[in-house]
Amino acid sequence: MGAAATDQWVVLLQIVVAAVLGASIGLERELSAQPAGLRTHMLVSLGAALFTLAGTNLPGSDPTRIAAQVVTGIGFLGGGAILREGANIRGLTTAASLWVTAAIGLAVGLRWWYAAAATTILALTVLALVKYVEREALPRRRMLEIVLTLEPDAHLDRVEQEVKSSLPRSRVLKVSYSATGQALVLTAQPQNGTSLSVIGERLRALQGVHGVEITR
């Protein structure tokens, strides 16, 4: 078998390995019900590997520029994986996993086999195991967006102070008003275990507050 044929088999092996490593990360994201799952991660790793192969084998091509363009393209994919739900943001971990998957594909394209395999194992460890440590040892507070509809004669400063004092177990991160001044919008972090119904009852009982809407 000639050298050219051997090179073609090595290229085929690189493409297959890139797809398999990307699939291993994508499977974890798929099982976690994330928007970017098995197919997306496989294609990202596969594409990154193929672009790298082109950059290292085509005459006159610059591998560093191709790698930079791959990273830029992954930025658009990662942005699409990030979703805002009320005051909470989801998808940051999936966006990061896409970024790492592209790096794995680049490593496979450069024949950095050990680096690609080690990065895949570490990424799976972070995605599958570290999240349980976070849940148990580092409980995270949920974010709430609270919209209060105010009475026409409500005193804004007084209402704002009363709202903050009625949420003693919550951290108010942001306060803003609607253009007409008839709505007060707060972003808050209540302590774990705080009942949303209790928060709503306290706020509805305030003088000058006409209605309360709470979203997560």
Of the candidates 107, 119, 128, which has an alpha carbon nearest to the alpha carbon of residue 34? 128
**Structural domain containing residue 8:** 3-137
Shared domain for 19 and 106, answered yes or no, is yes
Domain edge (last residue) among 112, 137, 162: 137
The answer to whether 18 and 108 have CB atoms below 8 angstroms apart is: yes
Those residues with Cβ within 8 angstroms of residue 215's Cβ, 6 or more apart along the chain or in another chain: 86, 87, 144, 145, 147
The burial class, CB within 10 Å (0-12 / 13-18 / 19+), for 73 is: middle
* Residue 104 pLDDT: 96
pLDDT in tens, 195-206: 667 777 777 777
Same domain, 125 and 191: no
Domains held by the chain: number: 2
Beta bridge mates, 174: 187
Tens digit of each residue's pLDDT (9 = 90 or more) over 18-69: 999 999 999 988 887 777 788 999 999 999 999 898 888 777 767 777 778 8
Whole-number pLDDT of residue 87? 46
Mean pLDDT of 160-181: 66
Q: Are 185 and 175 in contact (CB under 8 A)?
A: yes
What pTM, to 2 d.p., does this model score? 0.63
CB of 4 within 8 A of CB of 69? no
For the cut 50, the answer to whether the pLDDT of residue 179 exceeds it is yes
Same domain, 7 and 82: yes
From 137, 159, 180, the end of a domain falls on 137
pLDDT 10s digits, 71-127: 888 877 777 666 655 545 567 888 889 999 999 999 999 999 999 999 999 999 988
Q: Both 95 and 174 in a single domain?
A: no
Whether 150 shows a pLDDT value over 70: the answer reads yes
Note whether 61 and 77 are same-domain residues.
Answer: yes
